Amino acid sequence: MGAQLLAVSIEAPEELSDRERQTRAETLNLARQMGAEVVLSSGSNIGRALLAVSRDRNVSLLVLGKPRFTSQIRFWHRESPVRWLERNAEGVRLLLVPAKSQAAGRRVGIFASPLEPQDGRGREYFGAVLMAAAATTLGLMIEPLVGYWSVALLYLLTVTLTGVSFGRGPTVMLASLCALLWDLVFIPPRFTLYIGHPQDILMFLMFFAVALAVGHLTNRLRRRERLEHRMELRATALYQLTRKLAAATSMEDVISAGCSQIERVFQASVVIALRDTEGGLSSPVGASSAWSPTPEEWEVMLSSFKEKRGIEGGDASGDGQRVLCLPLLVADGVEGVLGLRLPGGHFLDANHRELLDAFAAQMGIVSEIQRIAEERRSSELLADSARLQKTLFDSVSHELKTPIAAIRVALEQPVVSAEEIRRATDRLHRAVEQLLSATRIESGLLKLTREWCDPADLANEAIVLAQEGAQVRLTAADPLPLIRVDAGLVVQSLVTLLENALTHGASDQGPELFVSADADSVRFEVADRGRGIPPGSENRVFEKFHRLPGARAGGIGLGLAIAKQFAELLGGEVRASNREGGGASFFLTLPVGGKVSLPV
């Protein structure tokens, strides 16, 4: 027909036996192998649930099994879903397929549902008999005190309590048995089935009807509660997986979270193989299981990856294990394969298979997101690297060529200017030092040598080393605590801040250096009267190779970035702000470093 094939399984409140669950799992697995999409739904009325799925998915043809009982004995059976659909499924065609043999199915009595399990009920029927005997014994004890009509309430309580734990058949049998025992043992004349008074006849009929109704409703409520509990467990398991996957920050976290959750829910060994860069499958990875797929199982995983569908296969080792492989499907392909090893050669039932399919879908989506994020990070890293490389090349080439050209011009003049050569050499030296410092920081080769220092001495040393140091005005508080720092890094940071202020400050007013302290830290403030920092650029001035628009020539844009990194290595910070009255202020704050401990 060229149409989509759906295999619909309705989960009713009635429980299935192990044999029936295995049969349903095998049937749905066959449907998947045929390319069908498995749809699971729930409801107490199977026909109504099927019709709801049909209308939701625009189904035009329903293929159903033909009922095995005839219309002459239909009174003794609950109406089949087929008969209900024949009366209510308007606009949907029905195709009834007869079974291969009448003996293939089992006949169901008046008190049983076609989906109710028949295996393992012997103990419940025996328990129902014991409950009836116990209620009769207790009734004989209290009947002289309360009368035989009150004993009927005791029987009703017994039927209600039994319906919470037993199936429908044992509950209905108990209701019938209690009605007969009440008539036989308590209604006069005793030990006969004869009922002499009309009111006793009415009471007996009402008791029998109420006992059947209460037992049926109680049992139905219990089964619906179990169904809702199973659905709640599935929803909780899926929510827990989604929460773990949402917290994953790498592909390894995705695999670990998915495998651990699946192992916990399904009690089976799990591995995941992701798509590699060449379009194939990478080596399978698990969480805590020691399962390593055999060559035969690996072939099943490869087939699932290539065919983009779930495949089940056995292990050629003969240990009775089966492997279920599900592709991690996404919109544009397959992200990998999830392998689940099933012990005992069993199939997953429909509920577990639906949950596993949902797990695989979630992991496929998150794996795709992580892969795209990693590719984007790689692309951004390459772009940043190319941009920084170009910026570094342009800046370094300019900063190296300019002083070299100045030295060359000075040497070609008849009278060599030693001052010009010195300035060009200092500029060249600073550029090389900044590059070496940046390299040492990035590579982690920079080692700190901490010692107790006087902040005022560090400030004076930085002023001497800075350009045109005589123009810097120093204001230091008295007293100042000693600080435990690497003196060379602090001095270099202060020199960078001072030279920045000398370069970008006002020409007629030199920068100022203030040194102050509080209980835990010492602060150095370098202030100038230049044009200040554009609003919003207070943090950007510390980025590598960043230069303000219209800045004076000179420098490669690494000085402030290196000063910031030096301060952070020492446990402090550097920040910038505009100064009242014009200009900029740069603050270097360093911790004191504890109590002074001098060598003895």
| CATH number of the domain that residue 524 is part of | 3.30.565.10
Return the beta strands (E) in 331-368 as ranges.
Answer: 333-342
pLDDT at 288: 57
Lowest mean pLDDT among 242-246, 578-582, 594-598: 594-598
Could you report the per-residue pLDDT of 402-421, keeping only the tens digit for each? 667 767 776 777 666 676 67
pLDDT confidence tier of residue 454, bands split at 50, 70 and 90 = very high
SS (H, E, C) 127-162: HHHHHHHHHHHHHHHHHHHHCHHHHHHHHHHHHHHH
Establish if 402 belongs to a structural domain.
no
- Between residues 581 and 428, which one has the greater pLDDT? 581
pLDDT confidence tier of residue 110, bands split at 50, 70 and 90 = very low
Does residue 575 contact residue 522 with C-beta atoms inside 8 Å? no
CA distance 323 to 343: 9
Establish if 428 belongs to a structural domain.
no
Q: Distance between alpha carbon 49 and the CA centroid of its chain, in Å?
A: 32
Does residue 579 contact residue 587 with C-beta atoms inside 8 Å? no
Establish if 432 belongs to a structural domain.
no
Same domain for 97 and 10: yes
Same domain for 285 and 373: yes
CA distances (Å), 135 to each of 146, 193, 204, 483, 540, in order? 15, 19, 17, 89, 86
Same domain for 260 and 327: yes
Lowest mean pLDDT among 81-85, 163-167, 266-270, 397-401: 397-401
Beta bridge partners of 313: 323
Judged against a pLDDT cut of 70, whether residue 91 lies above it is answered with yes
pLDDT at 74: 44
Same domain for 215 and 262: no
Same domain for 90 and 133: no
Same domain for 486 and 583: yes
Same domain for 578 and 464: yes
- Between residues 185 and 277, which one has the greater pLDDT? 185
Judged against a pLDDT cut of 50, whether residue 459 lies above it is answered with yes
Judged against a pLDDT cut of 90, whether residue 516 lies above it is answered with yes
Judged against a pLDDT cut of 60, whether residue 302 lies above it is answered with yes
Judged against a pLDDT cut of 80, whether residue 168 lies above it is answered with no
Phi, psi of 588 (to 5 degrees): -110, 110
pLDDT at 398: 52
CA distance 15 to 348: 16
Judged against a pLDDT cut of 80, whether residue 452 lies above it is answered with yes
Mean pLDDT of 427-454: 70
- Between residues 232 and 438, which one has the greater pLDDT? 232
Q: The domain spanning residue 252 has which CATH number? A: 3.30.450.40
Phi, psi of 573 (to 5 degrees): -155, 160
CA distance 71 to 79: 10
The whole-model pTM stands at 0.44
Establish if 1 belongs to a structural domain.
no
Domain interval for residue 335: 248-377
pLDDT at 351: 72
DSSP state of 121: -
Same domain for 194 and 95: no
pLDDT at 526: 93
Establish if 429 belongs to a structural domain.
no
Judged against a pLDDT cut of 80, whether residue 107 lies above it is answered with no
Could you report the per-residue pLDDT of 34-79, keeping only the tens digit for each? 778 888 888 778 888 899 889 888 888 999 888 765 544 444 446 7
Mean pLDDT of 375-387: 74
Mean pLDDT of 455-459: 92
Same domain for 297 and 220: no
Same domain for 471 and 344: no
Q: The domain spanning residue 40 has which CATH number? A: 3.40.50
pLDDT at 387: 64
Last residue in a domain, options 377, 395, 413 = 377
Could you report the per-residue pLDDT of 519-562, keeping only the tens digit for each? 889 999 999 888 888 887 888 888 876 666 655 555 556 678 87
Judged against a pLDDT cut of 70, whether residue 185 lies above it is answered with yes
| Mean of per-residue pLDDT scores for the chain | 77
pLDDT at 314: 62
pLDDT at 157: 83
Same domain for 16 and 53: yes
Mean pLDDT of 233-256: 81
| Domains held by the chain: number | 4
Q: Amino acid identity of 52?
A: A
Last residue in a domain, options 319, 350, 377 = 377
Establish if 396 belongs to a structural domain.
no
- Between residues 597 and 311, which one has the greater pLDDT? 311
Establish if 502 belongs to a structural domain.
yes
Mean pLDDT of 87-101: 82
pLDDT at 470: 53
pLDDT confidence tier of residue 513, bands split at 50, 70 and 90 = very high
Last residue in a domain, options 78, 104, 130 = 104
Establish if 408 belongs to a structural domain.
no
> Any residues with CB less than 8 A from the CB of 366 and at least 6 apart, and which?
245, 246, 248, 254
Same domain for 97 and 28: yes
pLDDT confidence tier of residue 589, bands split at 50, 70 and 90 = very high
Percent of the chain with pLDDT over 70: 75
Judged against a pLDDT cut of 80, whether residue 83 lies above it is answered with yes
Provide the pairing of β-strand 61-65 with 93-97.
parallel
Lowest mean pLDDT among 190-204, 342-356, 543-557, 582-596: 543-557
pLDDT at 574: 92
DSSP string, 264-328: HHH-SEEEEEEB-TTSSB---EESS------HHHHHHHHHHHHHTS-EEEE-TT-SS-EEEEEEE
